[in-house]
Amino acid sequence: MSENEVTTTKKLDKRTVMYIVTGALVILLIVLCIVFAHQRRQMKEMVEILELEKEELTDEYEDLSIQFDGYQQMDVHNDSLQEQLAIEQQRVRDLLEELRITKATNARRIAELKKELTTVRKVMVEYVRQIDSLNQTNERLTRENQHYKRENKQIVEQNTQLAEANTVLSETVTRASRLEVTNFSTTFLNERDKKTKRFSHIHKFQFDYSLGKNTTCEPGMKTIYMRLSRPDGELMTKTSSKMFTFESDDLQSSLNQEIEYSGEEMSSTMYWTVEEILYPGEYSVEFFAEGQHIGSFSFNLKK
């Protein structure tokens, strides 16, 4: 082989090698581009997945925060539990805020926050159990309280009925044992103790009355008080008139008389000596004994 042929062959070999190397480099570059594009696409998909996971985790934290708000608004009659709920609620808020500012690509912190969410949920489940237990206890106590209230109301009503019955019975017994004035009449007497119808000659009033039969009234000495009032309502009294008590008030009598009552009907008489100016009209006469009103009558004076 001539020198020129050798030289030509060497040039061809170098060119071939160059083509091969260049082709290999092109192929390698293409492969690298494909791999890079694939990795980039995978990275993008991973970021999208992390973003979606962060959104879902954020939603879960927000739901949990709302649940805590609901339990905080419940009327939980336990200060310690209320305080613990408030602490956990603030913890959820802090974690939610941290989650919002954490990048989705920070997979490690996202995983930690997800784990924290699981822990908080377990804590909340325990609080829910305690709240349910408290509510059940409160409902039971409320039912028992209502039951006792109904029983107490029934007892109060029964006591009221008994008190009313006792009052009625006491009033009945009191009325049954009360003295009663009957057969009342007024006679006008002159200075000679003779009956008169002349207004100007009246010197004395004679009051005749009877005490009715009453076997339930305790026999013995009784003081009969009489109040005599003029037509204008003014009470007529004397210096010897006595005081007596009626319905917690101290009243003054016009006349009084001591009698011995046996329970059988008996008659008696009181006298009023006229020392004042008389007026025509209707005079009233009221009888009292043992703190009770036992008779009411009236008579007329005419000129």
Q: What is the pLDDT of residues 3-23, one digit of tens each?
A: 555 555 555 567 777 777 777
Q: Within a domain: residue 22?
A: yes
Task: Determine, yes or no, domain membership for 173.
Answer: no
Whole-number average pLDDT of the chain: 79
Supply the pLDDT for residue 119: 75
Could you read off the pLDDT of 80-91 as tens digits, one per residue? Answer: 666 776 777 677
How would DSSP label each residue in 50-86?
Answer: HHHHHHHHHHHHHHHHHHHHHHHHS----HHHHHHHH
Residues of the domain holding 201: 181-301
Query: Are residues 291 and 191 both part of a single domain?
Result: yes
Asked if residue 124 belongs to a domain, the reply is yes
pLDDT of the residue at 5: 56
Sequence letter at residue 29: L
pLDDT single digits (tens) 145-183: 787 788 778 888 877 887 776 666 555 555 556 899 999
Residue 262 identity (one-letter amino acid): S
Do 279 and 189 belong together in one domain?
yes
pTM, two decimals, is 0.47
Q: pLDDT digits over 191-237, tens only? A: 999 999 999 999 999 999 999 998 888 899 999 999 999 999 999 99
Q: Is residue 153 part of a domain?
A: no
The answer to whether residue 80 sits within a structural domain is yes
| DSSP annotation string for 5-53 | HHHHHHHHHHHHHHHHHHHHHHHHHHHHHHHHHHHHHHHHHHHHHHHHH
What pLDDT sits at residue 256? 96
Pair (113, 211) in one structural domain: no
**CA Rg, the chain, in Å?**
58
Angle, helix 3-73 to helix 107-177, in steps of 10 degrees:
10
Q: Are residues 128 and 186 in the same domain?
A: no
| Helix H or strand E segment including 162 | helix 107-177
Q: Residue type at 139?
A: E
**How many angstroms separate the CA atoms of 217 and 180, rounded?**
10
The answer on 102 and 11 residing in a single domain is: yes
Tokens of 28: 């390698």
Domains in the chain: how many in total? 2
Does any domain span residue 109? yes
* Residue pLDDT, tens place only, 244-302: 999 999 999 999 999 999 999 999 999 999 999 999 999 999 999 999 999 999 999 99
- Give the rounded percent of residues in the chain with a pLDDT score beyond 90: 37
Residue where a domain stops, chosen among 134, 160, 189:
134
pLDDT digits (tens, 9 = 90+) for 195-207: 999 999 999 999 9
Tokens describing residue 45? 């998909």
Query: What per-residue confidence (pLDDT) applies to 269?
Result: 97
Structure tokens at 75: 């009327």
Rounded to the nearest angstrom, the gap between the alpha carbon of residue 8 and the centroid of all alpha carbons in its chain is 118
pLDDT value of position 78: 63
In this structure, the answer to whether residues 15 and 107 fall within a common structural domain is: yes
For 56, phi then psi, to 5°, come to: -60, -40
Length, in residues, of the chain = 303
Q: Is residue 169 part of a domain?
A: no
Handedness of CA 260, 262, 268, 270 (dihedral sign): positive
Better-scored residue on pLDDT, 216 or 50: 216
CATH number for the domain including 269? 2.60.40.10
Say yes or no to pLDDT of 29 above 70.
yes
